[in-house]
A and B are shown apart, each in its own frame.
Chain A
Amino acid sequence: MAQTGKPSVRHPSLKVNKLGLTQRDYEGSMSTLCAGCGHDSITASLVQAFFELEIEPHKVAKLSGIGCSSKTPAYFLKEAHGFNSVHGRMPSIATGANAANRGMTYIGVSGDGDSLSIGLGQLCHAIRRNVDMLYIIENNGVYGLTKGQFSASADVGTKAKKGEENRMGPIDPVALALSLGASFVGKGFSGDKQQLVPLIKAGLSHKGFALLDVISPCVTFNDHQGSTKSYQYTRDHVQEVVETDFVPVLHEITAEQASGDVTSVAMHDGSVVKFRPVAEGYDPTDRDGAYSHIATRQAAGEVATGLLYIEKGSQDVHSFENTVEESLVDLDFEELCPGNQILQELQKQWR
């Protein structure tokens, strides 16, 4: 019985990053999700991405709502901070946390139920505010935790395990995010880590709200024939439109050799996201073009994946609210609470 935990034994030649940590140090507790759940692969991709980005685990906040997806923050970065919020309310908690302490890396993990049904309004406002966080939707098209009812992302015509067909149109988080002005929109597949890890790294480094919609098959309720979110169906219909590579600050100089069709977007911290369109003429910095390309592919029954849109020079909520540079936790008490007299003076402005 090894369900209780991954053994402590390690590969003797594990690499360490500049913090002296190995990839194993970025793991969390043992997953209690169903064996074969796509969410576990996303977890593994997160572990790899955080390790490679050499992020200090204690400077990360993991936030989630309710659902299978929302259990996953327990399975990576055990040394990080975590908040498991009310169903669908994670974006508000993240917004608040980010407002108070902008010095941390925020990662929200949600699902299609948590984000597209009960929490849809919350998601929209987090996008609108451009809260500086990576928001992952582990999208499997069903409510796995309540035995596999169709979720709001279920495609028309997809079949449930017992055979009934879904007739209601889906909410596509990618199209939604693009139309709401999201500054970073990507789509991945849990079964393709080579694509997913750079997307996560780019999303984590993006200044502003990075939405990553990841198809993550539910092996228990939605991995059968007739499902449009199974491993097999996704593999058959995925069309990578952009190949993405993430180049961290340190390696930029050596990795500068770019071939003609590679575009680079500099991130605020000096790192670079490079991409090479696979679909001809695709430009991930063109919001309208991206929207129409994705819609066309969708009509053709394909799933467009990759870094679909990125806004150059994205400004997050702190920039347009003109907040202080430091995190509130780093301010002295006198600065944070200057006292009644200053409050009175401030209020005078609006009298």
Chain B
Amino acid sequence: MKPTDVSRPEYYHKVVDCQWGCPAHTPVPEYIRLIAQGRFTESYMLNRESNVFPGILGRTCDRPCEPACRRVRVEDEPVAICRLKRVAADLRGDVGHLLPSPPTEKNGKKIALIGAGPASLTVANDLMPLGYECEIFEQLSRSGGLMRTNIPAFRLPAEVLDEEIDMILDMGVQVHYDHPIDSLQSLLDQDRFDAVFVGTGAPKGKELNIPGREEGDANIHIGIEWLESVHFDHIKEIGEKVLIIGVGNTAMDCCRTSKRIGGVDVKVVARKGRPYFKASAWELEDAEEEQVEILENHSPSRFVLENGSLVGMEFELVEWEADENGRLVSKVLDSKIVPCDDVILAIGQDNAFPWIERDIGIDFNDWEMPVVDKTTFQTTRDGVFVGGDAAWGPENIIWAVEHGHQAAISIDNYCQGQSLVNRPAYGMNLVSQKMGLHSWSYGSEYDASQRAKMNHVDLVERFKALEVEVELGFDAEQTAIEVERCLNCDIQTSFSAPLCIECDACIDVCPVYCLTITDNGSEEEMRDRLTAPAENTDQDLYISEELPQTARIMVKDEDLCVHCGLCAERCPTAAWDMAKFDLLIPYAGKPTWTESAEAASTISS
């Protein structure tokens, strides 16, 4: 194998599993260390730079970082990354003076943002400090998009939303509330805007067209619309017996909301078995804690009506088996009627663009979705960009944020007459953390503590009002333990082959057998003959240059390294060092240090 090129940010970035897994590349270990030091404000601001909504995401994020967490591979429970983010948001001091401020002199460019959800807000967040004037068109009377109307207040209090959204809007974003855009054509015809960003989400709940749907309509609700109506107080109650069809995260919000406005016997009904549930494990757990019953392998066949009103639903009881192509096919075993007063359909969301004319240069694909470039977020019409759920269908907030960042880069480049395809590059800093003979600037000890369990408001108390936030957040002791569970994966083992005397000290001391000095070979063959076989091929092998004494190579399997720093402590020649990797993320108008340095060197030569 060729020596690993560690000068590319990708290599060390991938070692930081959580940061690699996060669409917005939040520097998780660094913000956790700041929390550990009690520097909540700094931790919050570091979060805000990449994910913009730390308080919101600290409660609602889909947490792609947590399944990626190295701790899952070393033991089984990831670090509670998401809820630590909330700790930073809850305990931070005033950040007003730390927020980006827009220049008084504008750059003369105007941007229209359609929809006031996380994607549009992120675009405004990135562009306002550069002197752009952003106007948001929102069809409802409040900002936040689905973050506000679809996530119930018992999961995400309105104050948290308001505070973080206002940080952006207070930069001088003009918001036109109750202002749906019915025609993109007419907006473009106004000629007031240099670029348009579409962040309208996936606002249409999927239908279930089975017999009885029309007749029972009064008591059959579309999940996201129903949640929105509850939010706006248009709906204040629901029947005692409620069925939720679908088992995604919207279904979880629907069942738990039902429980708070009159639902007593609330059941979530799934077509498949538990391993196939779309809802996050923790949301399922929270719903079941509230005594929501979950029915597996129930395939809806019809709505049952008596005297014109809904009294139940009939299901086929099915069994799933994989066919020869590995696809699951169902076999009907029986059928069953489950009585109910109301049904909420939470079986997915669709996009809808009836307001975009098909003849204005924006191509649509076969699924009636605008064709959007995966890199630039631009449609086939120059100057019209799409991001968030509106781009490729429902994702989650953190993806919308990243879309917003990328679209902002494109919009900035577009307005400045630069190429959209030449994206600013990621950069990196790598700085030794050695403080002394056996001391590092980070807590290198492995802490075997178990993941902290979130404290909840007790069941009686939480049902008293829709707004009672269920999760209490971590207390000081839980936080103190949880931060130490982080393995500091951004503190990289950095190797310098010319210094190595092949004494084996690092290999002998490594608690998880990561290291091997061996003859070079092919990856496949080497993975088999390392100190411990490197079976997880998702994780890279670090390959050093040839070692000076024997021309063998140092190989490190990144899979299970706990970044304890022992290899570097036991290295007599400092060939191993623990160095902090800082991923430099480019944002609109803010290229990374590496790029500025390159630009400077080009100018001087």
Contacts and interface: CB of A to CB of B under 8 A. Distances in A.
A and B: interacting chains: yes
B11 interface: no
A177 B569 CA distance: 38
B560 A1 contact: no
Contact of A36 (B74, B75, B573): B573
A8 B549 CA distance: 33
5 contacts: A36-B503, A43-B508, A44-B504, A190-B504, A219-B501
Interface in A9-52: 9-14, 24, 31, 34-38, 40-41, 43-44
B569 A36 contact: no
A3 B569 contact: yes
B565 interface: yes
Contact of A41 (B73, B505, B550): B505
Given A7-B562, A12-B73, A231-B503, A35 B512 contact: no
Nearest to A11: B512
Contacts of A31: 509, 570
Contacts of B512: 9-11
A7 B564 contact: yes
Contact of B511 (A7, A36, A223, A231): A7
Interface in B499-518: 501-505, 507-509, 511-513
B570 A36 contact: yes
Q: Which 5 A-B pairs have the closest CB atoms?
A: A36-B572, A7-B446, A44-B508, A3-B438, A36-B503
A185 B564 CA distance: 39
B566 A13 contact: no
Given A9-B511, A11-B532, A34 B572 contact: yes
B174 interface: no
B439 interface: yes
Nearest to B548: A232
A41 B445 contact: no
Interface of A: 1-3, 6-14, 24, 31, 34-38, 40-41, 43-44, 190-191, 193, 217, 219, 223, 231-232, 235
Contact of A193 (B440, B504, B565, B573): B504
Given A1-B439, A9-B448, 11 more contacts: A2-B444, A8-B446, A9-B564, A11-B532, A36-B501, A36-B573, A40-B504, A40-B508, A41-B503, A217-B503, A223-B572
A9 B562 contact: yes
Contacts of A14: 532
Contacts of A235: 502, 549-550
Interface residues of B, number: 36
Most buried by A among B73, B448, B511: B511
B560 A12 contact: yes
B535 interface: yes
Contacts of A219: 501, 503, 572
Give the secondary structure class of B's interface: loop
Contact of B565 (A2, A10, A190, A223): A2
Contact of B502 (A3, A13, A35, A231): A231
B504 A6 contact: no
B448 A35 contact: no
B508 A1 contact: no
Contacts of B74: 9, 12
Contact of B566 (A6, A11, A191, A232): A6
B497 to A, nearest CB: 15
Contacts of B446: 7-9
Contacts of A193: 504
A171 B511 CA distance: 38
A9 B562 CA distance: 8
A185 B567 CA distance: 33
Interface string B63-86: 000000000011100000000000
Interface string B567-599: 001111100000000000000000000000000
Contacts of A36: 501, 503, 505, 570-573
A40 to B, nearest CB: 6
Interface in B222-270: none
A193 B75 CA distance: 30
A81 B603 CA distance: 70
A2 B564 contact: yes
B285 to A, nearest CB: 24
Contacts of B549: 231-232, 235
A191 B504 contact: yes
B503 A1 contact: no
Interface in B504-563: 504-505, 507-509, 511-513, 532-533, 535, 549-550, 560, 562
Contacts of A40: 504-505, 508-509, 570
A34 B509 CA distance: 13
A41 B508 contact: yes
Given A2-B438, A235-B549, A7 B502 contact: no
A10 B512 CA distance: 5
Interface in B59-112: 73-75
A231 B501 contact: yes
Contacts of B75: 9, 12
Nearest to B569: A2
Nearest to B504: A41
B493 to A, nearest CB: 13
B587 to A, nearest CB: 37
Contact of A35 (B444, B445, B511, B572): B572
Contacts of B573: 36
B445 A2 contact: yes
Contacts of B571: 35-36
Contacts of A3: 438, 569
A77 to B, nearest CB: 15
B532 A13 contact: yes
A235 B549 CA distance: 7
A98 B509 CA distance: 32
Contacts of B511: 6-10, 24
Contacts of B439: 1
Interface string B404-420: 00000000000000000
A191 B560 contact: no
Nearest to A30: B509
A322 to B, nearest CB: 43
Contacts of A9: 74-75, 446, 448, 511-512, 562, 564
A11 B513 contact: yes
Contacts of B505: 35-37, 40-41
B576 to A, nearest CB: 10
Contacts of B560: 11-12
